[in-house]
Amino acid sequence: MKSLDNIKNCKKLAVMGGTFDPIHYGHLVAAETVREELGVERVLFIPSGRPPHKQKTRVAGDEHRYLMTVLATANNPYFEVSRMEIDRPGMTYTIDTIRALRTQCAPDCEIYFITGADAAAEIISWKDPQALVRLCRIVAVTRPGYDKSKIFYGLIKAQIPHDSFTFLEVPALSISSTDIRNRVGVGKSVRYLLPDSVEQYIKKFGLYQYQPYEETEPLIDEINKKLHYMLSPKRFTHTQGVAEESVRLAKVHGADEKKAYLAGLLHDCAKDISNKEKLDMCDKYGLELDEVLVNQTDLIHPFLGAELARDMFGIDDEDVLNAVRYHTTGRPGMSTLEKIVYLADFFEPNRHYFEGMDEMKKLAYKDLDEAMAFALDHTIKYNKGKKRVIHPLSRDALEYYKDHLIVNVKNI
C-alpha cells in the first residue's frame, strides 16, 4: 500500500472514489485530466467500501478491487491509493471520507472530489450534501455532449449552488466497467479498455466469470454470444443491467431468479432490428399488428422479441415469454415476473437519470403494484407530451393497477 504521507503537505488534492470493478482507462484519463486542468499535486484513488447504493449489487471482493487499483496507478507518480474505505467498518459515505481526509491534510488544502456526471445528478441522495460541498469542491466529469441539465436539476433539489461544481469533459468516459465485466464474462477482448496489468490480474483470478445459475450456464452463454451480434454495445450493456436488476427484484418479491435473469436478458432482443425487418418477421411469425403498432413500429419489438426468444433462443416458458412480450406496454393482471422486468427496464444501473426514477425504484422494492401504477402513469404522461399514441394495453394496465390499489386500501 502506498503511504498517504505524500498528501499531508498538498495544497491541492483530488480524490477519486469509486467501485473500480474493474478500474479502467476512463477512470485513469479522468484523474489525469483533473490533475492537469486543475493543477492538483496528487490524485488519491479510494476504492469504495460498502456504499449504500451498491448494497444490492454484486461486486468483486475488496482486496481484488484494491489491488487492481494499485496495479493500474503504479506507473503514475502523482497517483496514490488508499484503503481507508474498504478497511472502515459499516456503511461508507463520501462525507465521512472527506472529513477523515481533512484530518490528514494541511488546513489550507483544497480538496476536489471527482465523480461521474450521473452520480452528481443524484447528489440529493448523498449523505449531508450541503456539508460535503463546504468541505470540498465537486468535479463532475462528463462525456462530450452530456446534458448537464440533469446535474443542475439535482443541485436545485439539493439546494446546492451551481458554483460548488466544476465540469470537465473526458472522452474516455464512454468506457464502462459494466461493459468490461460483460465482455470478460462471454470471452470477448478487453484490450485497450484497461491497463494490461489489470487485464492479467482479472485472468489470473478468474474474475467476472460468474454465471448466475449453474444449470443454465450453457444457455446463458449462448444467449450472450447471440445478443452481442444482434445488439449495439449500449443496448447489450442495458440488457445485462435489466437482467441483474430483475434478479435483485426477484429476490425481494420471491420470484424465480432464473426466469427473471433470462427474461431481463432477452427483453430487448428485437430492439435493434430495422423497421422493415421487424415487419417482415411479423409476417413470418403470423403476428397481427393493430393500428398503434403499425404506426409506431418501435412498439413492435417486445411482441416480436417474445417470438424470437422462443424460436431463436429456445425459450418455451410462457411466463418468461410474456415478461418479454409486455415489458413495454404492460397489460392488466401481469404476473410477478412480468412486473419485475417491466420495472427493471426503467431503473437498471446503466439508465440515465430521469425525474421520478428514485421514487419508482423505491416503490418497486416495496410494492410492485404501486410501482406499476406509478410507472405506467409516468410513461403515459411522457408519451402524451411527445404526441405519441398510447397503446390500449398501457391505458388498460394503468386503470387496472389504480383500481387494484383502491381495492387493497379498502381491504386493510
Alpha-carbon separation of residue 333 from 62, 246, 293, 338, 398 (angstroms): 43, 19, 21, 10, 11
The rounded Cα 101 to chain-centroid distance in angstroms is 29
Which of 387, 317, 31, 10 lies closest to 195, judged by CA?
31
Q: Which residues 6+ apart lie within 8 Å of 25 measured at CB?
A: 172, 175, 192, 193, 194, 195
Dump pLDDT digits (tens) for 262-279.
Answer: 999 999 999 999 989 999
State the Cα–Cα distance between residues 390 and 398, nearest whole angstrom.
11
In the chain, what percentage of residues exceed pLDDT 70? 93
> Where residue 53 falls among pLDDT bands split at 50, 70, 90?
very low
Per-residue pLDDT tens over the stretch 189-226: 899 999 999 999 998 888 887 544 444 455 777 787 78
Average pLDDT value for the chain: 87
CA dihedral 78, 163, 155, 59 (to 10 degrees): 0
- Confidence check: pLDDT of 313 > 70: yes
Cell triple for residue 323?
415478461
More confident residue, 149 or 311: 311
Confidence of residue 56 (pLDDT cuts 50, 70, 90): very low
Peptide bond between residue 22 and the one before it cis (omega within 30 degrees of 0) = yes
Question: What residue ranges define each of the domains in the chain, with the CATH number in brackets?
Answer: 9-178 (3.40.50.620), 212-410 (1.10.3210.10)
Residue 367 has pLDDT above 80, yes or no: yes
CA 348 from centre of chain: 5
**CA dihedral defined by 103, 118, 365, 305, rounded to 10 degrees?**
-150
**Contact yes or no for 321/310 (Cβ under 8 A):** yes
Compute the distance between CA of residue 70 and CA of residue 64 in angstroms, rounded to an integer: 10
**What is the grid cell recorded at 58?**
454484486
- Residues 78-123: pLDDT tens digits? 999 999 998 888 788 899 999 999 999 999 999 999 998 888 888 8
d(CA 234, CA 236): 5
